[in-house]
Chain A
Amino acid sequence: MPVERALRVGIGGPVGSGKSSLIAALCRELADRRVGVVTNDIYTTEDAEFLRATGVLPEERITAVQTGGCPHTAIRDDIAANLEAVAELEAATGPLDLVFVESGGDNLTAIFSPGLADVQVFVIDVAAGDDIPRKGGPGIARADLLAINKTDLAPLVGSDVELMVREAEARRDGLPVHPLSLRSEHGAAPIAAWVRDRLEAFAAHGHLHSSVEGVPDHTH
């Protein structure tokens, strides 16, 4: 089945967990693909500005959505502005293979609507405390991939990465958990490999089965 639109990958997680840095690293890893980014801002266009400043993408491939202080609404309950932003990005730049939609930093209950993100990554970090996976929430339990970021900081902040991975896996029923340090030798390569795999499956089938997919639309 030919695919007529970009794969939409949601990148969610709390404020400061490293979503923007992960996206910048993924853009570098995926430089051979046509990538766009939609950021969701809480108060400023900081995330979009950060990404533009990294120079990983041409400026016109990055756009920002204003969320009226409701970042979770913008990615879950009312995704109209984000869908419009993705469509406008594709219309302005030509066809894209992949659009990362970065959520505004939110709490553990935020998750992307499957109407917006074909697949989604939830990013937490060791510095927020190693009890975060135990606290759970839909992002930790059901995101297609859970990244536990900043593992290089674990000894400095007294967090136990193995415990975090174990407790996350216990909640995720076989869904992948990736410890991640963007400062390590491999950086975002394992996540980029996972994204490439999703891209191939999307190109082949025109659709992906996300772990957060809801009830089918019965008019179809």
Chain B
Amino acid sequence: MDALALLLADSRFPSGSYAHSLGLEQAVADGLTDVPAFAAARQRLVAEADARIAVAARRGEDPLALDEEWCARCPSPVLREAARRLGSQLLRSAETVWPDERIAAYREASSATPRPVALGVVGAVAGLDDEAVALLALYDDAATVTSAALKLLPLDPAVTTRWLAELAPSMQRAAREAAADTRPVAAQPAPAAVALELAAAVHQRKRERLFAS
């Protein structure tokens, strides 16, 4: 157990993720009530591929090339913008926590700063291993969804936490698989979540919304 991994997993780390629902707000507006199914679908369709990108960034693959790989997997400009904000906010705080040239250089050079690449760069500086970085990407995705659920549906916070706990075994398995995969990112699985991409554009045009995504 790495204390710096806990620090990065903690929602109190100031990276602005409290303002995002990762698509849950629009899904609820469209009638969704099964939040655990939504979170699990995001794990399979989004977070696992994000975890693999984060691992590649942690391993020292060129982060600007990874920006392009990530953007190639996410054609939605709305989702790219949300990920850019989350990434740039993470980098801003991380640069104060770890004044390291690698964070400053990526922040300066990248205009896309998707959160998974930012997380991998920060994870490398924090000295985390591949599995910890992958797990962070997976956990953060699900925790952002369950935390947003409390503001969108009448839910008991202990129950949403149980949902997260129930996802733990599949998160660990996915993190181990991402860490064990030594192929370059371009050769790794990259599923698509087309429904999320379409819904994100609808959400962005709504006048009344709590969340930035």
Contacts and interface: CB of A to CB of B under 8 A. Distances in A.
Given A67-B19, A77-B14, A84 B89 contact: yes
B210 A43 contact: yes
Contacts of B93: 80
B38 interface: no
Given A80-B15, A80-B89, 12 more contacts: A45-B207, A65-B19, A66-B19, A66-B210, A68-B21, A68-B210, A69-B151, A69-B210, A77-B12, A78-B15, A81-B85, A84-B88
A183 B171 CA distance: 59
A3 interface: no
B14 A68 contact: no
Interface string A87-108: 0000000000000000000000
Contacts of B99: 219
- Classify the secondary structure of B's interface with A: loop
B201 to A, nearest CB: 16
B74 interface: no
Interface of B: 12, 14-16, 18-21, 85, 88-90, 92-93, 99, 148, 151, 207-212
B19 A70 contact: yes
Contacts of A73: 18
Instruction: Report, as a range, how many residues of chain A touch the other chain.
Output: 20 to 34
A83 interface: yes
Interface of A: 42-45, 65-70, 73-74, 77-81, 83-84, 219
B19 A68 contact: yes
Given A68-B148, A68-B151, A69-B151, A81 B19 contact: yes
Pick the most buried of B14, B16, B210, B211: most chain A CB atoms within 10 A of its CB.
B16
